[in-house]
Amino acid sequence: MTALARMRLAGFVRTARALPPLIAGLVALTVLYGGGAAQAAEAYGVSAVVLFPVLTWQTKLLLDTEPDIQRRLAVVAAGRRAELAGGILAAGLAGLALVPVALLLPWLVGGVTGPQRDGDLPLGLGLTVGLWAHLLVLPAAVGLGALASRAATNSPLYGLAAMVGGVVGVYVLGLKDSVLPWIAPPVLATARASTAGPTGWSVAQLTGHALLWSAAALAGYAWLRRRRT
């Protein structure tokens, strides 16, 4: 599994497919933070929302890098489960590599400030909340990107439609007055909680929601792969 993950990461980097999502993420975050400084928890909560479609796109690109024939050979050589897990692991590691960039960039462009008024979260706690927000959206983005990959949809057009429709659906269903908030991962809810200052209950609730949604998305990806491989 780890060898397959390394192979996919190497192919993703060497074919330069890793550059477009990285550049898109840097541009989006620079524009976001260019408007002025904000408290760490608030700034990072919003940046996690902005980074979600980038992480989704990156996952799709990584899983689409491997040719279909090579993927089938990997299934024969290593087994279906190892091949499937290797791709998800590679996508998770690639997404995890963007998290430090998202946490560091705001400081370089003056987008984050320390506590200014009584009641503001301490800087250390704000950074912790920001890290939590980014790590929370990562598995959901990997799950959605996997569902939109060529191996799951069997068509570049269907994959693109699934990715765009999925991201838009996550934002629409995540609105504060949504009647079906549990259908989508809590991307917007995490940003709202980060801005307000999350409680222990909200952290546990949002984390459980995100993990359950991600597990369901990856289970759907595995089921689609079994039908199409």
Mean local confidence (pLDDT), 106-111: 81
Q: Which pLDDT belongs to residue 78? A: 61
Question: Containing H/E element for 112?
Answer: strand 112-113
Report the distance separating Cα 174 and Cα 184, nearest Å. 7
- Whether the predicted pLDDT of 229 surpasses 60: no
pTM over 0.85? The answer is yes
- Beta-ladder partners of 38: 112
State residue 159 phi and psi, 5-degree precision.
Answer: -65, -45
Query: What are the percentages of helix, strand and coil residues in the chain, rounded to 5?
Result: 80, 0, 20
Please tell me which of 16-20, 31-35, 106-110, 197-201 the model is most confident about, judged by mean pLDDT: 16-20
Distances (CA, A) of 86 to 4, 75, 101, 169, 183: 5, 11, 24, 28, 27
In this structure, of 59-63, 70-74, 123-127, 192-196, the range with the lowest mean pLDDT score is 70-74
- Whether the predicted pLDDT of 72 surpasses 70: no
Mean local confidence (pLDDT), 189-206: 87
- Whether the predicted pLDDT of 226 surpasses 90: no
- Whether the predicted pLDDT of 68 surpasses 80: no
Task: Dump pLDDT digits (tens) for 8-64.
Answer: 888 888 888 999 999 999 999 888 887 667 788 888 888 999 999 999 999 999 998
